Chains A and B, each alone.
Chain A
Amino acid sequence: MGVIKGVLKEELENSLRMKREYEKALKELLKGCLAQKEIRGHKYYYLVKRVGKKVKYVYKGKLSKEEINKHNEAKVLRAKYRKLLSRVKKQIRFLRGAIRGKESI
């Protein structure tokens, strides 16, 4: 195998591994997103999540700052991981195409 193809093949293996990792990391993140409602000066929270095709609001009541931060952090990470996962998928498509030929380069 040529050097370039060898490197590309290794990078493809890396990208496939990363795809699995990002999918796993996304699964492990806290599900849903917090929605806040203010009633008579008090803040109450609902966890908004998808169940099948429906969007459900689950009442959580008053939450500690720590818990709110956890949800917010999960939200930011989820967006980041999704973006990176999409990039990894593009890399996989590109790398698969690049090493398809029979030439040893």
Chain B
Amino acid sequence: MEKNQYKLCLEVLRRFNKAGILDGMILIGSWLLYFYKDYFKKTPYIDIATLRTRDIDFLVPLSIKIKKTIDVPELLKDLGFVTDFKGSKGYIKLDHPDLILEFLVPEKGRGSDEPYKLPQLGMNAVSLRFLSFLIDNVIRVKVEDFYINVPHPANFALHKLIIFQRRAREYKALKDKSTAIEILKALSNKGEGRIIKKTLDSISEKWRKKIIKGLEGEEEIKLLLDS
């Protein structure tokens, strides 16, 4: 299963790269942890300890510029992906027994529960709050002969610490929190405690308080405060 999943994930990335749309997107979700392995090459890292679901999410910045229109469902059709229109609003998900592909955009202003249209990709996207924080610091990771954009691990971990407190499902909250802690530990082990602090300092007081509150009572809070 794992091998099939990885092969399919790579094929999706390869096709996005060939179609010229990969550069404009940021890979997020639990699959991201797999691609952090190179970043944490010389540090004990958590990917094997992470429970990974089939979801693979692509964050599309609102400023994205794609020259050519690409029909993503058509691009992946021969791999066996089928299109699912989720809920009454019709959010598009591309389903395959090994991967579930979804597009996300940062929510702007008061937000809306309508899907955000991405006609240049033949898709629509879910708008979610706090995603802009993941766009603020993006790193590039080499996969085969091309690069993918991923959020800096510090941004990813701190983002998880914000959203786990908003999760309706308890198991998701627990998963988010433990992922965040493991990434913070890995960053600290890599000697990047200062980056955690710098990232924490770069965000608004309101969000910062929320993040610190998320680790209250945990030993790991020192990863945020003592770095």
Contacts and interface: CB of A to CB of B under 8 A. Distances in A.
Interface residues of B, number: 20
Interface in A1-15: 1-7, 10-11, 14-15
A88 B97 contact: yes
A85 to B, nearest CB: 9
A19 B82 CA distance: 11
B100 interface: yes
Contacts of A91: 97
B96 interface: yes
A25 B82 contact: yes
* Secondary structure call for the A interface: helix
A21 B92 CA distance: 13
B80 to A, nearest CB: 5
Contacts of A4: 51
Contacts of B171: 1-3, 5-7
Interface string B189-224: 000000000000000000000000000000000000
Given A3-B175, A10-B53, A80-B78, 20 more contacts: A1-B171, A3-B51, A3-B174, A3-B178, A5-B171, A6-B169, A6-B171, A14-B95, A18-B95, A18-B96, A21-B95, A22-B82, A25-B82, A76-B78, A77-B78, A80-B80, A81-B82, A84-B96, A84-B97, A88-B97
29 contacts: A1-B171, A2-B171, A3-B51, A3-B174, A3-B175, A3-B178, A4-B51, A6-B170, A6-B175, A7-B53, A10-B53, A11-B53, A11-B54, A14-B54, A17-B84, A18-B95, A21-B82, A21-B95, A22-B82, A76-B78, A77-B77, A77-B78, A80-B78, A80-B80, A81-B82, A84-B96, A84-B97, A87-B97, A91-B97
